[in-house]
Amino acid sequence: MDVVIPVTFVGPKATFTGVEDPTTHLTTFHTQMMLVEGSDAMHCKLFMSTLAGTTLGWFISLPDGHVTSFAQFSTLFMEQYITNRAPPSVSYNFFDVRQYQGESLKEFLNHFGAQVVKLNTKDETMMVHTFRKGIVSRPFSESLIRSRPKTFGEIRRRAMAHIVREGEVNEKCTYVVPNRLRGPSQPQPMRVHEATTEKRAPAKQQPYEPQKPQTRGRTREDVPPRHNFLVELKELIAVPNIAERLKMPAKTDKGLGPNKNAWCEFHQAFGHLIRNCLALGHQLDELVKNVFLKDYLMESQGAQTLTAPGGDQGHEMLVHGEIHTISWADPR
C-alpha cells in the first residue's frame, strides 16, 4: 500500500456504497484500470478509493496487513456483499422478449441484442426463433417468413438495410415539391379592332321578362336517398371495415344546424341528427351502389328520400370557411 500514485493520474469514477451489485462494480473497475496498467498495489489503493459510506467502514475494520493482493481484496469484497448480486438470468426468460407497442425496429433490435449479451447465449437457432416470435407483424417480419435467416447476424444485416430503406421512403413521402418560379409578367399590347372605330348599330331591344323566383336550399337531386339498414347509423359507421371507407369530417366546436340539442355522431357536433346528415348519406349511398353494404341492408324495403321530419333539420351554414350540408325537406 506504499505505492505512490502520480498527482496527474485520474482514478476510476465508479463508487460503491454497499447497495450496488459487487460483480458490476468490480467489472467497471477492471475496465477503467485497463487504461493505466498499474501494479497490483496500485489496484488495491485505487479500489479502496471507490468505497464510500458503510463500505469504507468495513475496509477500515480489516486488520492491518490483512490484504496482501488485489485478488484477495476482490474475494473479500465479493464475500462481504454477495447478497447484493443480481439473480442470474435464466434461458426461458429469453422467449418472453417481445416488441412493445410503438417500439421501432431499431429499438427492438437493440433491446433484443441486450438480452442476448445478458444471457450470453450462443445458440443461433434459438436466437433466430426467438426474434421471429417476438417481432410484431410488419413488412420486415413478413420478409423473415418468406426468407428465413440462419443466424442472428444475418437478421442484423437485413434489419439495418430495411431501416435505411424505410427512412428513405419516409423522407420521400414528407418531401414537399416547391412551386415553380415564374418570371415577371409583362403587359400584353392591346389590339384595337378596326370595327371599333366605326359607328355601332343600336342594340335590338328585348321584351321584358320577369325573373323566376330562385328556390332556396337544395333540390331533390342534391339529396341522397335514405337506405334502411339492419343496424342504427351510429353503429354502422363504427364497423371497422366501413369506417375505413368513410371520409371523416374535421372536428369543430361550431354548431352545424339550427337544432342545438341534436347530436350527429358522424360530425361529432350539435346541430342535426345523424339520420339527417347529408355528408354521411352521400358516402353511404356510394357504398350501397358499390354493393359494399349489401349485408347491412333490409331486403324488404327500398331507398327513401333523406328528409328532416318536423323541426329537426340538417345543416348548411358557413362556419369560418367550412361549408357543411343540410338535409332537404319537400315543402309540399
- Give 271's strand partners: 259
Per-residue pLDDT band at 296 (split at 50, 70, 90): confident
Residue 237 inside a domain? The answer is: yes
Answer positive or negative: Cα dihedral of 70, 75, 76, 80.
positive
- Give 259's strand partners: 271
Residue 107 has pLDDT above 50, yes or no: yes
| Shared-domain flag, residues 80 and 95 | no
User: Which backbone phi and psi does 89 adopt, to 5 degrees?
Assistant: -75, 140
Residue 187 inside a domain? The answer is: no
Residue 283 has pLDDT above 80, yes or no: yes
| Shared-domain flag, residues 32 and 99 | no
Residue 302 has pLDDT above 60, yes or no: no
Residue 181 inside a domain? The answer is: no
Q: What span, in angstroms and rounded, lies between the C-alpha atoms of 95 and 196?
A: 92
The one-letter amino acid code at 275 reads R
- Amino acid 47: pLDDT: 87
| Shared-domain flag, residues 75 and 110 | no
CB 45 within 8 A of CB 63: no
Residue 165 has pLDDT above 60, yes or no: yes
| Shared-domain flag, residues 289 and 256 | yes
- Segment 14-41 shows an average pLDDT of 83
**Residue 103's domain spans which residues?**
91-172
| Shared-domain flag, residues 30 and 95 | no
- Amino acid 311: pLDDT: 44
- Segment 113-141 shows an average pLDDT of 84
- Segment 223-238 shows an average pLDDT of 83
Across the chain, mean pLDDT equals 76
Place of cell 497490483: 40
Per-residue pLDDT band at 183 (split at 50, 70, 90): low
Per-residue pLDDT band at 177 (split at 50, 70, 90): low
Residue 304 inside a domain? The answer is: yes
The one-letter amino acid code at 161 reads A
Residue 228 has pLDDT above 80, yes or no: yes
The one-letter amino acid code at 239 reads V
| Shared-domain flag, residues 109 and 147 | yes
| Shared-domain flag, residues 161 and 246 | no
Q: What span, in angstroms and rounded, lies between the C-alpha atoms of 127 and 112?
A: 9
Residue that is last in its domain, among 44, 59, 84: 84
Q: What span, in angstroms and rounded, lies between the C-alpha atoms of 8 and 273?
A: 81
Encode pLDDT of 232-258 as tens digits. 888 888 888 888 888 888 888 888 888
Where in the chain does DSSP place strands (E)? 225-226, 259-264, 269-271, 304-305, 318-319, 322-323
- Give 226's strand partners: 304
Encode pLDDT of 203-220 as tens digits. 666 766 666 655 555 555
